[in-house]
Structure 1
Amino acid sequence: MRKTGILNRHLAGALAELGHGDGVLVCDAGMPIPAGPRVVDLAFRAGVPSFAEVLDGLLDELVVEGATAAHEVRDANPEASALLDGRFPGLELVAHEELKAMTAGARLVVRTGEARPYANVLLRCGVFF
Protein backbone atom coordinates (compact mmCIF):
# COMPACT_ATOMS: atom_id res chain seq x y z
CA MET A 1 0.00 0.00 0.00
CA ARG A 2 1.21 3.48 -0.84
CA LYS A 3 1.73 5.85 2.06
CA THR A 4 1.78 9.15 0.18
CA GLY A 5 0.22 10.66 -2.91
CA ILE A 6 -3.00 9.41 -4.45
CA LEU A 7 -4.20 6.32 -2.61
CA ASN A 8 -7.24 5.54 -4.79
CA ARG A 9 -6.08 2.54 -6.82
CA HIS A 10 -8.26 3.33 -9.83
CA LEU A 11 -7.07 6.92 -10.05
CA ALA A 12 -3.41 6.07 -9.43
CA GLY A 13 -3.54 3.43 -12.17
CA ALA A 14 -5.26 5.75 -14.63
CA LEU A 15 -2.68 8.48 -14.01
CA ALA A 16 0.16 6.03 -14.64
CA GLU A 17 -1.25 5.35 -18.13
CA LEU A 18 -1.26 9.01 -19.22
CA GLY A 19 1.16 10.36 -21.78
CA HIS A 20 2.19 13.66 -23.31
CA GLY A 21 -0.78 15.51 -24.76
CA ASP A 22 -3.44 13.40 -23.05
CA GLY A 23 -6.43 15.24 -21.66
CA VAL A 24 -7.69 14.94 -18.09
CA LEU A 25 -10.99 16.56 -17.17
CA VAL A 26 -11.43 17.39 -13.49
CA CYS A 27 -15.13 18.13 -13.07
CA ASP A 28 -17.92 18.95 -10.68
CA ALA A 29 -20.64 16.46 -9.84
CA GLY A 30 -23.00 17.88 -12.48
CA MET A 31 -20.79 17.82 -15.56
CA PRO A 32 -22.20 15.47 -18.22
CA ILE A 33 -19.64 12.81 -19.08
CA PRO A 34 -19.77 11.35 -22.59
CA ALA A 35 -19.05 7.74 -23.41
CA GLY A 36 -15.41 7.23 -24.27
CA PRO A 37 -13.05 8.58 -21.63
CA ARG A 38 -12.10 6.46 -18.66
CA VAL A 39 -13.93 7.79 -15.59
CA VAL A 40 -12.79 7.75 -11.98
CA ASP A 41 -15.72 8.94 -9.89
CA LEU A 42 -14.58 10.27 -6.52
CA ALA A 43 -17.91 11.94 -5.63
CA PHE A 44 -19.11 10.88 -2.18
CA ARG A 45 -21.50 13.62 -1.06
CA ALA A 46 -22.27 17.10 -2.29
CA GLY A 47 -19.02 19.01 -1.90
CA VAL A 48 -16.93 15.97 -0.97
CA PRO A 49 -14.28 15.80 -2.22
CA SER A 50 -14.06 19.38 -3.38
CA PHE A 51 -12.85 20.48 -6.80
CA ALA A 52 -9.89 22.28 -5.16
CA GLU A 53 -8.79 19.21 -3.16
CA VAL A 54 -8.86 16.92 -6.17
CA LEU A 55 -7.24 19.43 -8.52
CA ASP A 56 -4.38 20.12 -6.11
CA GLY A 57 -3.85 16.39 -5.55
CA LEU A 58 -3.65 15.80 -9.28
CA LEU A 59 -1.30 18.72 -9.81
CA ASP A 60 1.06 17.15 -7.25
CA GLU A 61 1.22 14.06 -9.49
CA LEU A 62 1.02 15.38 -13.07
CA VAL A 63 3.03 17.57 -15.39
CA VAL A 64 0.49 19.93 -16.97
CA GLU A 65 1.34 22.02 -20.03
CA GLY A 66 -2.05 23.65 -20.50
CA ALA A 67 -5.54 24.00 -19.09
CA THR A 68 -8.96 24.92 -20.47
CA ALA A 69 -12.09 25.96 -18.57
CA ALA A 70 -15.47 27.46 -19.41
CA HIS A 71 -15.60 31.25 -19.47
CA GLU A 72 -18.91 31.01 -17.55
CA VAL A 73 -16.88 30.19 -14.41
CA ARG A 74 -15.90 33.88 -14.21
CA ASP A 75 -19.40 35.07 -13.22
CA ALA A 76 -21.00 31.90 -11.85
CA ASN A 77 -18.21 30.66 -9.56
CA PRO A 78 -15.66 33.33 -8.59
CA GLU A 79 -13.94 30.98 -6.11
CA ALA A 80 -13.25 28.35 -8.77
CA SER A 81 -12.26 31.09 -11.21
CA ALA A 82 -9.67 32.46 -8.77
CA LEU A 83 -8.37 28.95 -8.06
CA LEU A 84 -7.92 28.25 -11.78
CA ASP A 85 -6.24 31.60 -12.41
CA GLY A 86 -3.85 30.94 -9.54
CA ARG A 87 -2.91 27.47 -10.77
CA PHE A 88 -2.84 28.21 -14.51
CA PRO A 89 -1.59 31.68 -15.52
CA GLY A 90 -2.18 30.83 -19.21
CA LEU A 91 -5.68 29.40 -18.67
CA GLU A 92 -7.63 29.12 -21.92
CA LEU A 93 -11.34 29.94 -21.68
CA VAL A 94 -14.00 28.56 -24.02
CA ALA A 95 -17.80 28.35 -23.95
CA HIS A 96 -19.14 25.68 -21.61
CA GLU A 97 -20.72 23.84 -24.56
CA GLU A 98 -17.32 23.71 -26.25
CA LEU A 99 -15.68 22.39 -23.07
CA LYS A 100 -18.32 19.65 -22.89
CA ALA A 101 -17.59 18.72 -26.52
CA MET A 102 -13.83 18.66 -25.82
CA THR A 103 -14.45 16.19 -22.98
CA ALA A 104 -15.16 13.42 -25.50
CA GLY A 105 -11.50 13.56 -26.53
CA ALA A 106 -10.16 13.35 -22.96
CA ARG A 107 -8.32 10.22 -21.90
CA LEU A 108 -9.51 10.49 -18.28
CA VAL A 109 -12.35 12.17 -16.40
CA VAL A 110 -12.05 12.65 -12.65
CA ARG A 111 -15.45 13.50 -11.14
CA THR A 112 -15.42 15.30 -7.81
CA GLY A 113 -18.28 15.93 -5.39
CA GLU A 114 -18.14 19.67 -6.11
CA ALA A 115 -21.63 21.16 -6.04
CA ARG A 116 -20.89 24.66 -7.36
CA PRO A 117 -21.31 25.43 -11.08
CA TYR A 118 -18.58 25.40 -13.72
CA ALA A 119 -15.91 23.88 -11.46
CA ASN A 120 -14.39 22.04 -14.43
CA VAL A 121 -10.99 22.13 -16.08
CA LEU A 122 -9.48 20.14 -18.91
CA LEU A 123 -5.78 19.56 -18.28
CA ARG A 124 -3.30 18.78 -21.04
CA CYS A 125 -0.48 16.52 -19.85
CA GLY A 126 3.10 17.54 -20.44
CA VAL A 127 6.44 15.83 -19.89
CA PHE A 128 8.88 16.24 -17.02
CA PHE A 129 11.93 16.83 -19.24
Structure 2
Amino acid sequence: MKKAGILNRHLAGALAGLGHGDGVLVCDAGMPVPAGPLLVDLAFRAGVPSFAEVLEGLLDELVIEGATAAREVREANPAATRLLTGHFPALELVSHEELKALSAGAKLIVRTGEARPYANVLLHCGVFF
Protein backbone atom coordinates (compact mmCIF):
# COMPACT_ATOMS: atom_id res chain seq x y z
CA MET A 1 0.00 0.00 0.00
CA LYS A 2 1.23 3.51 -0.83
CA LYS A 3 1.96 5.63 2.19
CA ALA A 4 2.28 9.04 0.56
CA GLY A 5 1.27 11.05 -2.44
CA ILE A 6 -1.96 10.44 -4.30
CA LEU A 7 -3.67 7.41 -2.79
CA ASN A 8 -6.68 7.19 -5.13
CA ARG A 9 -5.81 4.13 -7.22
CA HIS A 10 -7.60 5.34 -10.34
CA LEU A 11 -5.92 8.74 -10.28
CA ALA A 12 -2.47 7.36 -9.38
CA GLY A 13 -2.68 4.87 -12.25
CA ALA A 14 -3.82 7.50 -14.72
CA LEU A 15 -0.97 9.82 -13.70
CA ALA A 16 1.56 7.02 -14.23
CA GLY A 17 0.37 6.72 -17.82
CA LEU A 18 0.95 10.37 -18.73
CA GLY A 19 3.76 11.48 -20.99
CA HIS A 20 5.35 14.63 -22.33
CA GLY A 21 2.79 16.79 -24.09
CA ASP A 22 -0.28 15.15 -22.55
CA GLY A 23 -3.04 17.37 -21.22
CA VAL A 24 -4.70 17.09 -17.83
CA LEU A 25 -7.83 19.12 -17.17
CA VAL A 26 -8.46 19.86 -13.49
CA CYS A 27 -12.02 21.13 -13.30
CA ASP A 28 -14.78 22.26 -11.02
CA ALA A 29 -17.95 20.25 -10.46
CA GLY A 30 -19.85 22.18 -13.14
CA MET A 31 -17.44 21.89 -16.08
CA PRO A 32 -18.91 19.81 -18.92
CA VAL A 33 -16.88 16.64 -19.36
CA PRO A 34 -16.40 15.64 -23.00
CA ALA A 35 -16.52 12.05 -24.20
CA GLY A 36 -13.07 10.65 -24.91
CA PRO A 37 -10.61 11.59 -22.17
CA LEU A 38 -10.30 9.36 -19.12
CA LEU A 39 -12.28 10.87 -16.25
CA VAL A 40 -11.35 10.50 -12.59
CA ASP A 41 -14.24 12.03 -10.66
CA LEU A 42 -13.19 13.02 -7.14
CA ALA A 43 -16.27 15.16 -6.41
CA PHE A 44 -17.89 14.16 -3.11
CA ARG A 45 -19.88 17.19 -1.96
CA ALA A 46 -20.01 20.80 -3.06
CA GLY A 47 -16.52 22.14 -2.38
CA VAL A 48 -15.00 18.76 -1.48
CA PRO A 49 -12.33 18.24 -2.56
CA SER A 50 -11.49 21.78 -3.53
CA PHE A 51 -9.85 22.83 -6.77
CA ALA A 52 -6.84 24.10 -4.79
CA GLU A 53 -6.35 20.82 -2.89
CA VAL A 54 -6.48 18.72 -6.03
CA LEU A 55 -4.28 21.06 -8.06
CA GLU A 56 -1.64 21.18 -5.30
CA GLY A 57 -1.62 17.38 -5.06
CA LEU A 58 -1.23 17.00 -8.81
CA LEU A 59 1.57 19.55 -8.97
CA ASP A 60 3.45 17.54 -6.33
CA GLU A 61 3.35 14.53 -8.68
CA LEU A 62 3.66 15.95 -12.21
CA VAL A 63 6.11 17.93 -14.30
CA ILE A 64 4.10 20.75 -15.88
CA GLU A 65 5.49 22.92 -18.66
CA GLY A 66 2.47 25.17 -19.09
CA ALA A 67 -1.17 25.74 -18.26
CA THR A 68 -4.29 27.18 -19.88
CA ALA A 69 -7.34 28.61 -18.11
CA ALA A 70 -10.44 30.60 -19.02
CA ARG A 71 -9.94 34.35 -18.99
CA GLU A 72 -13.30 34.66 -17.20
CA VAL A 73 -11.61 33.37 -14.04
CA ARG A 74 -9.95 36.78 -13.52
CA GLU A 75 -13.24 38.51 -12.78
CA ALA A 76 -15.39 35.67 -11.47
CA ASN A 77 -12.97 33.86 -9.15
CA PRO A 78 -10.10 35.94 -7.69
CA ALA A 79 -8.95 33.10 -5.41
CA ALA A 80 -8.51 30.70 -8.34
CA THR A 81 -6.78 33.47 -10.30
CA ARG A 82 -4.24 34.00 -7.50
CA LEU A 83 -3.66 30.25 -7.21
CA LEU A 84 -3.15 29.79 -10.94
CA THR A 85 -0.96 32.83 -11.54
CA GLY A 86 1.08 31.94 -8.46
CA HIS A 87 1.93 28.56 -9.96
CA PHE A 88 1.96 29.57 -13.61
CA PRO A 89 3.29 33.11 -14.21
CA ALA A 90 2.96 32.50 -17.98
CA LEU A 91 -0.62 31.21 -17.66
CA GLU A 92 -2.32 31.18 -21.06
CA LEU A 93 -5.82 32.61 -20.96
CA VAL A 94 -8.49 31.70 -23.53
CA SER A 95 -12.26 32.02 -23.57
CA HIS A 96 -14.22 29.53 -21.49
CA GLU A 97 -15.70 28.15 -24.71
CA GLU A 98 -12.22 27.58 -26.10
CA LEU A 99 -11.09 25.87 -22.88
CA LYS A 100 -14.08 23.52 -23.15
CA ALA A 101 -13.10 22.71 -26.74
CA LEU A 102 -9.45 22.14 -25.75
CA SER A 103 -10.51 19.80 -22.94
CA ALA A 104 -11.67 17.25 -25.51
CA GLY A 105 -8.00 16.72 -26.40
CA ALA A 106 -6.91 16.09 -22.82
CA LYS A 107 -5.70 12.62 -21.93
CA LEU A 108 -7.09 12.90 -18.38
CA ILE A 109 -9.80 14.93 -16.68
CA VAL A 110 -9.82 15.23 -12.90
CA ARG A 111 -13.17 16.54 -11.63
CA THR A 112 -13.14 18.17 -8.20
CA GLY A 113 -16.03 19.14 -5.97
CA GLU A 114 -15.21 22.83 -6.42
CA ALA A 115 -18.36 24.98 -6.48
CA ARG A 116 -16.85 28.35 -7.39
CA PRO A 117 -16.96 29.40 -11.07
CA TYR A 118 -14.18 28.94 -13.61
CA ALA A 119 -11.95 26.86 -11.32
CA ASN A 120 -10.58 24.95 -14.30
CA VAL A 121 -7.11 24.57 -15.75
CA LEU A 122 -5.63 22.51 -18.55
CA LEU A 123 -2.15 21.38 -17.50
CA HIS A 124 0.44 20.58 -20.17
CA CYS A 125 2.76 17.79 -19.04
CA GLY A 126 6.48 18.29 -19.36
CA VAL A 127 9.42 15.98 -18.91
CA PHE A 128 11.64 15.68 -15.85
CA PHE A 129 14.96 15.77 -17.73
Q: Do structure 1's residue 20 and structure 2's residue 20 form an aligned pair? A: yes
Partner of 2:52: 52
Sequence identity of aligned pairs in percent? 83
Which aligned pairs between 1:55-94 and structure 2 lie closer than 5 A? 55-94=55-94
Structure 1 unmatched ranges of 5 or more: none
**What's the counterpart of residue 36 of structure 1?**
36
Q: 2: CA distance between counterparts of 1:82 and 1:74? A: 9
Q: What does residue 118 of structure 2 align with?
A: 118
Alpha-carbon deviation of 1:105? 0.2
How far has the Cα of 1:29 moved from its partner? 0.1
Deviation at 1:48, TM superposition (A): 0.2
Q: How many residues align?
A: 129
Superposition deviation, residue 71 in structure 1: 0.1
Letter of the aligned partner of 1:111 in structure 2?
R
Name 2:100's counterpart in structure 1.
100
Distance 1:111 1:46 in 2: 12
The residue that corresponds to 2:2 in the other structure is 2
Deviation at 1:36, TM superposition (A): 0.3
| Separation in structure 2 between the aligned mates of residue 104 and residue 80 of structure 1, nearest angstrom | 22
- Equivalent residue of 2:15, what SS? helix
Q: Structure 1 residue 24: deviation in Å?
A: 0.1
Distance in 2 of aligned mates of 1:101 and 1:84? 20
TM-score normalised according to structure 1 size: 1.00
Distance in 2 (alpha carbons) for counterparts of 1:82 and 1:124: 19
**C-alpha distance in 2 between matches for 1:52 and 1:127:** 23
CA RMSD of superposed structures (Å): 0.2
Alpha-carbon offset, residue 102 of structure 1:
0.2
Q: Tell me the CA shift for residue 86 of structure 1.
A: 0.3
Separation in 2 of the partners of 1:33 and 1:87?
24
